[in-house]
Amino acid sequence: MPEGVFFDLDGTLLDTLPDIRACLNASLEEYGCDPLTERQVRAFVGDGARRLVLRALPGKQALAEAVYRSFLTRYNASENPHTRIFDGMENVVRGLKARGVKLAVVTNKPQEAARRAVEQFFPGIFDCILGDSGMFPCKPDPTSVRYAALGMHTAIGRCVFVGDGEADVLTASNAGMAGVFVLWGYRTREQLEQAGARNFAETPAELENFFAKFI
């Protein structure tokens, strides 16, 4: 069993896509831009809110800062009415907590939105919640992961990163820690393999088996 497990949030623990899309489209429409489909938003998420907005505005970069600020305000205040926990993941994190494993969320989601979502859906479970606050570079830079490990008094070589995107694969590699990547999220197995992923979980049960065999 690992000493610590670091989870990505969107696409790993929570299906947040409907609420991200709703807030983003409201901000795009506010500035006269066309709304995005679910498929487009799925392809654009993973690298932080600013890059999400930039990807949503090809050829309209002059609007990016205003749309980004609007989106940030909307999403930080969102009550997440359409967000849900992926089936089985609450049991996974509660099981790890019961075994004394230190738990962190490390996400490129804005810090306030990340904090609100984790406290809403996983109250009292996580030891550390790190989103994009401007304090550290976004993933795949490993600084936030190293900071979380230090704060939780865990050896990074005894920890596992769990995510669903290319940034998560690279974060685990850059931090020098084991990684396992879920296939119920926002990227395909092929996309994750191209980023260098080797360990996969198709179900929460497979994720638990990975933790149980971790040496």
Task: Name the residues annotated as catalytic.
Answer: 8
**Separation of alpha carbons 152 and 88, rounded Å:** 25
3-state secondary structure of 134: coil
**Separation of alpha carbons 193 and 78, rounded Å:** 33
Which residues have C-beta within 8 Å of that of residue 36, sequence separation ≥ 6?
21, 24, 25, 28, 44, 56
Task: Dump strand ranges (E) for the chain.
Answer: 4-7, 14-15, 84-85, 102-110, 128-132, 159-163, 178-182, 200-201
Q: Give, in degrees to the nearest 5, the angle at Cα 54 between 50 and 57.
A: 140
Residue count of the chain, please give it.
215
Q: How far is CA 91 from the centre of its chain?
A: 18
**Separation of alpha carbons 7 and 97, rounded Å:** 13
Nearest Cα residue to 125 out of 163, 159, 85: 85
